[in-house]
Structure 1
């Protein structure tokens, strides 16, 4: 090989001063504030149930629950305002000499001693430290045997450390914090999300009472109470089956709703994304039913319309993230224990197969009702097969030239770029008519935001069978756009946003779409994917400034601020908002109202009330809340204004 054939040596890249000084070590507080997502998941503004501000509350309350589980403290007081959280338990109280360390030194906590906290929610020693670091103000106060020790922090830094003092207060721990608005921008606590968290704590801890903003919450029958609250008596095909064993509890029934509805817990933690224990529960129900009836039913027919709950308590649970929303593959006993090491899957499968089989043998009426429900699902599935095939063929052809859907580039489950740290947040806007969709389409982010345009008012689906979804072309195309035909596992968008006009027709379309989702795809709502787009009702401006207002109160304040003779535009339809303006309302500052199911109301109760026959209860509500236009006009004396009504 001559010199010309020798490979060229790569050019030496400059090191840009890469020395010992380039290496930086972050302390615990800096690391949490720099990478909050590692500790509390997504930040968000509170419009989603898994936003970080709710994780902060959970981390503090979890410590109170652990005290209760260990037999110390039966009551927890929680007060939450727009920006301030206060949690007080009546357990043993933090040892006074460690009050500062427990909330500000990483890897410090009693949970490392399994003799003290046998089956607690977390074992990582990070929870309250993350809350402290991400709060503009954080107060911890412990009372033990007539002595109180307190400490105050700001963004994790100690600001006050007074000496212990005598007190007449009961033993326990008080933590007060305010999330840092430089990290959680424009955040707000939604009471329904907090109430759901608190109800779950009570379902899983018999004898526990929680006072939340003056309301008392407690449950005496565990998961039985949970399912009784989530279903109504008329909709249940048989009485709730409630079974308990050592370290395990389950409950199940079947209703008339479509889909499957589950609530899974590990050591009192609501695992919203399920995991090993939920997969084992679903598998065990299918196996048990097939063996009991000696018939190879389709799994989808057995689990169709099921409402179930499973709770297990294990030592050293392994979650797939710091936020503990999905349980990994674990054993029921840690290595080195006296008991046998059993995978959680086999433990749950064995328990369900034995106990559920025994229950069905002892309760023939329930067994017969369950069989009828399974066979009904089987008939419906077979009846729908022909219609489904034809509808899918039509949808496939329509998708080639589907003018209703203006899709985006990336979708849920896909990374925006190879190696990206997190998947993109994708949105589908459902609009009424081409006019509204035109404004959104021109102003949207084509990478992450898609638009589906309706043709007038969709079909009222209340009380109809799922067969209608395939027979109605528009609903079928919407189903395919979302990719939820076989369940929400294939959902293509994180957020499904209903964007309708702020008038009577727009409200009606909104109700019809919500009826469609709740009737046939309730998991879409239960899992927090459905939102209502809030757009401004008014534009108040003068030659120097423009203010967009979402309420009458905001409009009045804007008129006062701008002074004499501001121009006021009343937006009646989304199509009347220019694309340039619309871009300001669907970007980073988008205002979304989440669609939330109340914890104590079933889907059928909600649909019957709003979309059923004109019931006396609904008539009474309308009469009591009816207000005349003149009553809505403020009595404040305001300057005259030029009003422009946009038709």
Structure 2
């Protein structure tokens, strides 16, 4: 039977059905996006001068309620006898923000929403939707919808006898059948959004009441962005105070377009150690950037490069700075506004405006040049730090290129050239293991006491470099480290200032399913183990995160009874074994790896059936960083304090 395609094949879902089937057709990209639409309307009321508090409630049934204290959404009849609530909640492309660019500024001069689809789109894509207006006329208007369809009882109107404050309250629960099983706004999304909006809307308090977890949070910055930047820029490393430039201009993108107004607030500070950037437009975070990102990059790079040239601060034949060098020490938040929508789509994650780009770039360059002229000490600090960032970046990039050249080998042709490396026969990297042993003295026993099919051995030549305290130049001149990286095969994760990636790393090129560290159970062995973990943490942290790094627990005691050996990994295990033995027995400290027989090496450390592997997991990373920094980093005072606090524990343990 053939498929028929004719006039009867054409179907119509209708507007409501179409939106529920394809919410992206009106710009609703996810269940979480509906939260932005409803919250945006409440924020617009504040920006218009009405209401300084917004209450967000996560209800026990998973729905969300947003209560503002603005003017109350109009829900009664207009002069044509039409119900306004139907236009707001049940008609696409209907709203009160289309005349923002008129001479009188309309109801909302600079509003987040202008397309007239947010409230209706949220209603259409929700299982339930309730709207209540505590109106200025003394009435309360209430209407409810189910899957976009108004309940039969229609609009309910009653007197506001309880004295509820004027404003709007919207409750909704996104439809799981519309958003691929997602029927509840994520808590994390709510929290991050409210934090964001508190930053860019200084003086507006956001209260989040989560009835599902019985938690309540408040997000509020009295001075908005200025307070937020101060919280990021620590005084210890600050190069400048928070600087604020502001402008309002009028223009158009093309000759035939109508003029529109723009407003720009630029807040920034320079800091030796901290960096941050965030761009907002009409209070929406521009996750994908656009015009503000363009004029910031252009202006800061141009002015700082000009200053460096005019003051002969570049070395001879030195390349000019890039914005990355500036951004490494720049904390910046921009908040722009326009009287027409500049968003590239309904998600409001990017804007584009030729007029804004040209006008703000010209203005911002002028402001920065004036600032540099009037504040020579701060200017000098800024440009010198930018040069440090630049040279650090170039040094790290050169290190990456150098190590990439050094590591361009295959596992086969390095076998005979890497001192202390014994390969296995298998090339299946889902089964092969790389065993790192302590010193060449352990190589003989390890080589004989292994499964040569899938276990390769690399014997370390003494204690390796402390990779946390060394710069890349020194690290990559160390033959032991370079040889180990060659054997791994996956490259390195080199980072410049503020952990910006300059990678040649690819985990798909890792030649081993496991990297296993085996050291003696003594002070030297623990030290070598720690240095190896520091190496992986600094140069290949993804191997730790992906669970590729293991430590073999070495036995502390060997107990000999009737020519049979038992191995204990703790005092408790030793006591348990001894209690079960009959006849005479000998308890001795387990031999070092270099004294092990191949049989003992296989049984205690190499045999997958009997060895004890400790996987270094993702959960260990933060704790590991804390102790790496304390014991192997530059915190000398921290080490002294730790020793003073814990020395008695080690003395007591030694005496026992």
Structure-2-length-normalised TM-score: 0.58
Instruction: Please say if 1:85 is aligned against 2:59.
Output: no
The 3 A distance-change label for structure 1 pair 308 and 460 is: farther
Cα offsets for 1:76-119 (capped at 9, x unmatched): 11112572211000111111222233112111111122212222
Partner of 1:180: 175
Is the 2:129–2:172 Cα contact (8 Å) retained in structure 1? Answer: yes
User: Residues 395 and 347 from structure 1, CA distance in 2 versus in 1: closer, same or farther, beyond 3 angstroms?
Assistant: farther
Are 1:321 and 2:339 counterparts?
A: no
Equivalent position SS for 2:229: helix
Which of 102, 117, 134 matches 1:143?
A: 134
Partner of 1:477: 491
Q: Tell me: CA distance 1:53–1:531, structure 2 relative to 1, closer, same or farther (3 Å).
A: farther
1:264 corresponding residue in structure 2:
279
What does residue 86 of structure 2 align with?
Answer: 100
In 2, the alpha carbon distance for the partners of 1:463 and 1:187 equals: 49
Residue in structure 2 matched with residue 366 of structure 1 by the alignment? 378
Structure 2 counterpart SS, 1:136: strand
Secondary structure in 2 aligned to 1:96? coil
Deviation string 1:346-398 (CA, Å, 9 cap, x unpaired) is 12212221222222222223212212211212332343454222122245556
State the match for 1:161 in structure 2: 154
Change (3 A) 1:221 1:612: farther
2:14 to 11, 27, 30: 27
Distance 1:610 1:383, change over 3 A: same
Larger of the two Rg values belongs to structure? 2
Contact 1:249 1:312 survives alignment (8 Å): yes
Does the alignment pair 1:204 with 2:200? Answer: yes
Q: Map of 1:221-236 to 2, 5 A cutoff?
A: 221-236=223-238
Q: Which runs of 5+ in 1 are unaligned?
A: 1-13, 43-51, 332-342, 403-432, 438-454, 494-498, 501-507, 522-529, 534-574, 577-592, 595-604, 620-647
Q: Does 1:109 align with 2:111?
A: no
Q: Is the 8 A contact 1:121 1:269 kept in 2?
A: yes
Q: Deviations over 1:428-478 (max 9, x none)?
A: xxxxx95699xxxxxxxxxxxxxxxxx9xx999767757689787469725
Give the whole-Å Cα distance in 1 for the aligned partners of 2:359 and 2:347: 25
1:235-282 Cα deviation digits (max 9, x unpaired): 433333332333111122344559x63200111110011112211111
Question: Of 130, 144, 160, which residue of structure 2 is paired with 1:152?
Answer: 144
> 1:514 Cα deviation (Å)?
12
CA contact (8 A) 2:396 2:502 kept: no
Kindly indicate whether residue 8 of structure 2 is the aligned counterpart of residue 64 of structure 1.
Answer: no
1:275 maps to 290
Give distance in 2, aligned partners of 1:73 and 1:401: 72
The reply to whether residue 75 of structure 1 matches residue 53 of structure 2 is yes
Within 1, Cα distance between the matches of 2:127 and 2:361? 47
Contact 1:76/1:209 (8 A) holds in 2: yes
Q: Which runs of 5+ in 2 are unaligned?
A: 77-83, 101-105, 210-215, 249-262, 315-319, 415-428, 434-457, 459-463, 508-512, 515-529, 548-607, 610-617, 632-637, 643-656
CA distance in 1, matches of 2:505, 2:343: 24
Contact 2:493/2:541 (8 A) holds in 1: no
Q: What is the Cα-based RMSD across aligned positions, in Å? A: 4.8
TM-aligned CA distance change 1:253 to 1:312, over 3 Å:
same
1:274-313 alignment, distance < 5 Å: 274-294=289-309, 297-299=320-322, 300-313=324-337
Whole-angstrom distance in 1 between the partners of 2:225 and 2:489 = 36
User: How far apart in 1 are the matches of 2:505 and 2:26?
Assistant: 26
Could you tell me how far apart the structure 2 residues matched to 1:491 and 1:326 are? 31
Q: Distance in 2 between matches of 1:266 and 1:513?
A: 43
Change (3 A) 1:166 1:367: same
How far apart, CA to CA, are the structure 1 residues paired with 2:124 and 2:118? Answer: 10
Partner SS state of residue 202, structure 2: coil
Contact 1:112 1:123 in 2 (8 A): yes
In structure 2, the residue matched to 1:243 is: 245
Cα distance 1:280–1:487, how it changes in 2: closer, same or farther (>3 A)?
A: farther
Shift in Å at residue 216 of structure 1? 2.4
